[in-house]
Amino acid sequence: MSDFGRALLPLWHLDPEGTFLNHGSFGACPRGVLAAQSAVREEMERQPDQFFRLKAMPTSEENALRPTADRLGRFVGTSGERIAFVANATEAINTVLKAVDLTSGDEILMLDCVYNAVRLAVEDTCRRTGAHPKVVTLPIPIATNDAVERIMQAVGPRTRLAIIDHIASPTAVVFPVAEMTTALKAKGVRVLIDGAHALGQLALDLEAVGADWYTANAHKWLYAPKGCAFLYAAAHVAQRTLPLSVSHYHDLGFPHAFDYVGTRDVSAFLSVPAALDFMAGFDVDAIRRYINELAREGSLLMRDVGGEPVAPEAMSCAMRAYALPQRRCAEPADAAALRHDLWYQHRIQIASSAFQGKLLCRLSAQIYNERSDFERVVDVLQRRGWAGR
């Protein structure tokens, strides 16, 4: 019998009446990790002066953020010196956009499956600098090698920065980021990898990826509390990578300046060891095997409703998106209706979007899920259908 499955649900606060197949959007933090965070908060509130001056200030010898960064760094194939804590991938990406020198006519390249907030941040940067966003269309379903070729065709002499998703949000496609980074850097383009969904889910070796910057959320697949992410900066861009808020330690530069950017709750960052312990308690490899196998089983079940996988098997992970058969082009309202009806009428939480005119249903497999969860969503989709079918 598997150690995993619905019997683990009580380890989370997740509604026991619900079928949660959307770990991807916001993650879910186990009770045990939240208890570790509460202990940090209690310590912070018991003696705030001691806590902030000793634990949170970068110049203190007892600074607790740096050893945490060291441990996280080891987990992702780099050193703590390359890791700064930020609240989320959104903050990290805005930080990088500020770190790149851009002038009128420069280009920032991104994929059409870019996360919407990232696209808006790029557009805002472009408005301020006179740079242009360049969006690479990757038609779905994705063919294995197509993506690298299309990206490289889009690179021009003024492309200064490329933002590449490691696991794309609407399509859940896993891109070959090391290969892409090598090709882009050979053309003199700086590379930011948006690994919002990758930390915990994929085995990461950031030094091998070789990107200038890499960000990932710990609050999704690493099981950390909300508001916990990191920004990796390679040594040659570290000096220019500075927090969005200028505070006392700005002059210390990367990563120390990020450790204290004004009074804030750093308990989510300090709970990363508890999140890593939680994973290790189950065996990280066993978790990855289970969630990937479950997602693969889910993709076989989704065939019963004609769900076409967006990614080939080699570019798939524990979160997979399916194009549902449509009579017409899908609209964002169709995706919202699907999400809404599944939760409010059937207590099933999924993610969905309208992408390239297709209605995408995205399902995440987590260790608290089992085959019956996927059977349930397929059964409901079969019986009820969806807008535009």
Footprint of ligand PLP on this chain (CB under 6 A)?
Answer: 25, 88-90, 115, 117-118, 165, 169, 194, 196-197, 217
| Closest CB 88 distance from ligand PLP, rounded Å | 3
Closer to ligand PLP by CB, 196 or 222: give it: 196
Phi, psi of 4 (to 5 degrees): -110, 170
Q: How far is the CB of 27 from ligand PLP (least distance, A)?
A: 9
CB of 11 to ligand PLP, least distance (A): 22
Closest CB to ligand PLP among residues 94, 241: 94
The CB-of-286 to ligand PLP minimum distance in angstroms stands at 25
Given the complex with ligand PLP, which of 25 and 326 has the nearer CB atom? 25
Q: Cα(306)–Cα(321) distance, rounded to whole angstroms?
A: 12
First CA to last CA distance, the chain: 38
Q: Give every CB contact of residue 264 below 8 A, 6+ residues apart in sequence.
A: none
In the bound state with ligand PLP, the residue whose beta carbon lies nearer, of 100 and 229, is 229
Strand ranges (E), the chain = 19-20, 83-86, 107-111, 132-136, 159-165, 190-194, 213-217, 229-233, 308-309, 319-324, 348-349, 351-355, 358-364
CB of 128 to ligand PLP, least distance (A): 20
Q: In whole angstroms, give the CA distance from residue 181 to residue 207.
A: 12
Nearer to ligand PLP, 175 or 374 (CB): 175
The answer to whether 219 and 226 have CB atoms below 8 angstroms apart is yes
Closest to 44 measured CA to CA, from 33, 34, 55, 32: 55
Our measurement of the distance from residue 108's CA atom to the centroid of its chain's CA atoms, rounded to an integer in Å, reads: 20
Nearer to ligand PLP, 65 or 196 (CB): 196
User: What 3-state DSSP class applies to 242?
Assistant: coil
Please, what is the minimum distance in Å from the beta carbon of residue 169 to ligand PLP?
A: 3
